């Protein structure tokens, strides 16, 4: 038996054919020890193991941006990120960005600019927008639209999303 197969067998869950692995995740400043399927996405671990359901599953294929979180300060699609690969990384989700009584400026701007309708894409839009302002993105509307193009909004709230992002760029 190969080393890989031996290790998989050692960590196999008794009720599942899929091997699991223990992973230490730092999420929103707290450390969580998670025993999850080695194939589990960061998105599924956040939602199903840690009950952080603010991060949404849209396509589960890296095409919509609904699952955007920050990994070590950079935006990633959580549906395309293996949870086991995030061992020891700093993960920030929408729940860690602000609180209902103390919104992050980007959250407040989305509210004041009416930058959502159904809200399903909104947490991903906000996490992307916060990251965009840390990236070498140009300041024009076209630059921001391009940088945010990985975040799809079925409701078509793009104009107000752009206005919110540009408001935070200008006002902080």
Binding residues among 28-67 for ligand FES as defined by CB under 6 A: 57-60, 62-67
Of 39 and 154, which CB lies nearer to ligand FES in the complex structure? Answer: 154
What is the DSSP-derived secondary structure letter of residue 162?
H
The answer to whether residue 158 forms part of the interface with ligand FES (CB under 6 A) is no
- Work out which of 153, 162, 164, 168 binds ligand FES, going by CB under 6 A: 153
Of 5 and 59, which CB lies nearer to ligand FES in the complex structure? Answer: 59
Contact 22, 34 (CB under 8 A): yes
Contact 165, 140 (CB under 8 A): no
Contact 145, 162 (CB under 8 A): yes
- Work out which of 118, 134, 138, 141 binds ligand FES, going by CB under 6 A: 118
Strands of 63-120 (E only): list them: 68-71, 74-77, 90-92
Catalog residues that contact ligand FES under the rule CB under 6 A: 57-60, 62-67, 77, 79, 116-122, 153-155, 157
């Amino acid at each position: 038996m190969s080393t890989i197969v031996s290790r998989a067998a050692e960590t196999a869950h008794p009720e599942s054919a899929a091997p699991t692995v223990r992973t230490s995740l730092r999420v929103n400043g707290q450390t969580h020890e998670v025993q999850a399927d080695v194939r589990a996405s960061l998105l599924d671990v956040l939602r199903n193991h840690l009950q952080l359901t603010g991060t949404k599953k849209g396509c589960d294929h890296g095409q919509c941006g609904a699952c955007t979180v920050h990994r070590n300060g950079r935006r990633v699609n959580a549906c395309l990120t293996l949870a086991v690969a995030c061992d020891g990384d700093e993960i920030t989700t929408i729940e860690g960005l602000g609180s209902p009584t103390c919104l992050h400026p980007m959250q407040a701007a989305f509210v004041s600019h009416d930058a959502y309708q159904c809200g399903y894409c909104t947490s991903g839009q906000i996490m992307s927008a916060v990251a965009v302002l840390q990236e070498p993105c140009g300041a024009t509307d076209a630059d921001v639209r391009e940088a945010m193009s990985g975040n799809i909004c079925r409701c078509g709230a793009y104009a107000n999303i752009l206005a919110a992002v540009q408001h935070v760029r200008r006002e902080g």
